[in-house]
Amino acid sequence: MVTDKEFINVAAAGLEIEAEPFSRLAERFGLTQAEVISRLQRLIDEGKVKRFAASVRHKPMGYDFNTMLLVRGEPGNLDRIGAAVSRFTEVSHCYHRHHPDGDPHCIYIMIHTREKSRMDEIIGTIAELHGVRGVEVCTSLVELKKTSLSRVSSSVKP
């Protein structure tokens, strides 16, 4: 019987766009399509797969302005800043991490907009939030790689 890891490492390559897209996975593993589908559903129910869905490239959809912000906050205000920032629909990711210089109170924010004016407006609003000590705009100069996580076991061994 195929393990969950073997199964997901293959499934992660994604579906062909065809009428019965689960048939290839079924054939590959000697399962029925119903078994493939119930395995995926179980992995979702267990939280190992967040959803089975489309990943999109935002640039061809017109989201030309994409920025990472590092926001330093007062220690007692990080949660409040994180919650306020998360309300922007243009914010896709908002995490607390250390700043690379060692400051432990930093929030990382990814913002995507179609217009530069909207990007500037959002950054301006965040900079004015209560408890924000400083904002660094880290515009991307070169995209070297952008993929989906495609394996749950490694291609290399230590």
Q: Which residues, numbered 17-56, are part of the site for another protein (CB under 8 A)?
A: 17-22, 33-34, 37, 40-41, 43-44, 46-56
Contact 151, 9 (CB under 8 A): yes
H/E segment holding residue 24: helix 23-29
- Cα 45 to Cα 106: distance, rounded to the nearest angstrom: 33
Write each residue from 91 to 120 as x if it is in contact with another protein (CB under 8 A), else as -, in one continuous string.
xxxxxxxx-x------xx---x--------
Using CB under 8 A as the binding rule, whether residue 144 contacts another protein is answered as yes
Q: Which amino acid is at 146?
A: K
8 Å CB contact between 151 and 11 = no
Using the rule CB under 8 A, is 150 a contact of another protein?
yes
Query: Smallest distance, Å, CB 71 to another protein?
Result: 11
Q: What is the DSSP letter of 158?
A: -
Q: C-beta of 29: minimal distance to another protein in Å?
A: 15
3 binds another protein per the rule CB under 8 A: no
